[in-house]
Amino acid sequence: MILYIIRHADPDYAHNTITPLGKEEALALGQRMSRVKLDRIYTSPLGRAIDTARPTMLALGMENTVLDWTAESMDYMQPRVAGKGGYTFAFRNGVTDVEDCAELERDETMASLVKNSDEFLASLGYERRRCLQDNASER
């Protein structure tokens, strides 16, 4: 199996799509991927991911399968207690107070990502291996 992991084209976060430059990048990607035999196209549910994949889908006459778990999570950036964050970040959609990022517990988010990616690979008949220090000797 060859698994292509492609990051979205230049994003327009405010409008949940890609910029004019991103559209050029997506078209170039579509031209490149039209020469590759793909069995499936998976995307996150985010507009920028789907819009990046669209020229490839059109070139190959394929539909995408949306994998909800691939949408990036910013949950770890949310304050645990409103107004008690250690830092204030200005995002395009507003200002958010968050705790010191170095002290945030990301275990739940990472565990979910690992679980979902392992389940995805298993659905294709594969098992992730040699990713942890404990079994590095299996190389």
Residue 88 identity (one-letter amino acid)? T
The counts of H helices and E strands in the chain are 3, 6
Mean pLDDT (whole number) for 9-24: 95
pTM for this predicted structure: 0.72
What is the pairing mode between strands 11-12 and 17-18?
antiparallel
The residues near 100 (Cβ < 8 Å, ≥ 6 apart) are 86, 87
- Work out the angle at residue 117's Cα, subtended by the Cα atoms of residues 76 and 63, and round it to the nearest 5 degrees: 105
Q: Which run of H or E residues covers position 121?
A: helix 107-123
- Tell me the per-residue pLDDT of 101-136, one tens digit each, with 9 for 90 and over: 544 556 777 788 889 999 999 999 999 886 665 555
Task: For the chain, give every domain's residue range.
Answer: 1-71
Task: Report domain 1-71's class.
Answer: alpha beta
